[in-house]
Structure 1
Amino acid sequence: MPQAVWNGEVIAQSDDTVVVEGNHYFPADSIRREFFSDSATTSVCGWKGTARYYSVTVNGQTNPDCAWSYPDPKPAASQIKGRIAFWKGVKVS
């Protein structure tokens, strides 16, 4: 089952991920919300839409903007609506 791990803690786990461009998108209900906080950061992808970011804090250390989602993706990326992906040192295996 795919897991997202950062700073020694499993922050998301699900056997229902969607892989897009090499990134596992986890269902929003599979993340451990106590580690996540909203970020003001956004970015725009031409075919997916506008991404919003989250920071993760585990054991007193924060990894800013290491998770993202597309709350209202464009039609071509509809399969990732309600899902969260990771980067910046978060290990997905």
Structure 2
Amino acid sequence: MKAVLNGTTIAQADEAELIRIEGNWYFPPASVNTEHLVASDTPYTCPWKGEAQYFSVKNGTGVLQDRAWSYPTPYPSSFDRVGKDYSNYVAFWKDVQVVAD
């Protein structure tokens, strides 16, 4: 699977390595090309996952605000619900297409 924005692959990993949470594919940290991400100060805390870190995604000459996110230190209780530790896995908003490769 890969996460693509305007023909640029931002993340790529085997589907077996990804985690699906609430309809979103989360990519393992090592599979994400972080040169396309810029950390955002946008705050958000999920009631069951914990505090999120948002990222803006570089789009050619511009930046799409808050189109990716991760949970650097999710609540340990959420691991049971998800099925494994997903710390620092990265998910993308709809502007970034997640497709089979």
TM-score, normalised via structure 2 length: 0.84
Name the structure 1 match of 2:88: 82
SS in 2 for 1:75: coil
TM-score, normalised via structure 1 length: 0.91
SS in 2 for 1:71: coil
Residue 7 of structure 1 and its aligned partner are, at CA, apart by: 2.0
Per-residue CA deviation, residues 3-32 of structure 1 (Å, 9 max, x unaligned), is 111122110001111111111110111111
Percent identical among aligned pairs is 43
In structure 2, C-alpha distance between the alignment counterparts of 1:56 and 1:50, rounded to whole Å:
19
Q: Where is the strand percentage greater, Structure 1 or Structure 2? A: 1
1:24 and 2:25 correspond = yes
SS in 2 for 1:67: strand
SS in 2 for 1:29: helix
In structure 2, C-alpha distance between the alignment counterparts of 1:48 and 1:24, rounded to whole Å:
15
Give the greater-gyration-radius structure (CA): 2
Name the structure 1 match of 2:73: 72
Gaps of 5+ in 1: none
Residue 57 of structure 1 and its aligned partner are, at CA, apart by: 0.6
SS in 2 for 1:40: coil
In structure 2, C-alpha distance between the alignment counterparts of 1:77 and 1:48, rounded to whole Å:
6
Residue 59 of structure 1 and its aligned partner are, at CA, apart by: 1.4
Q: How many residues align?
A: 92
Whichever residue aligns with residue 80 of structure 1, its letter is: Y
Name the structure 2 match of 1:56: 57
Residue 62 of structure 1 and its aligned partner are, at CA, apart by: 1.1
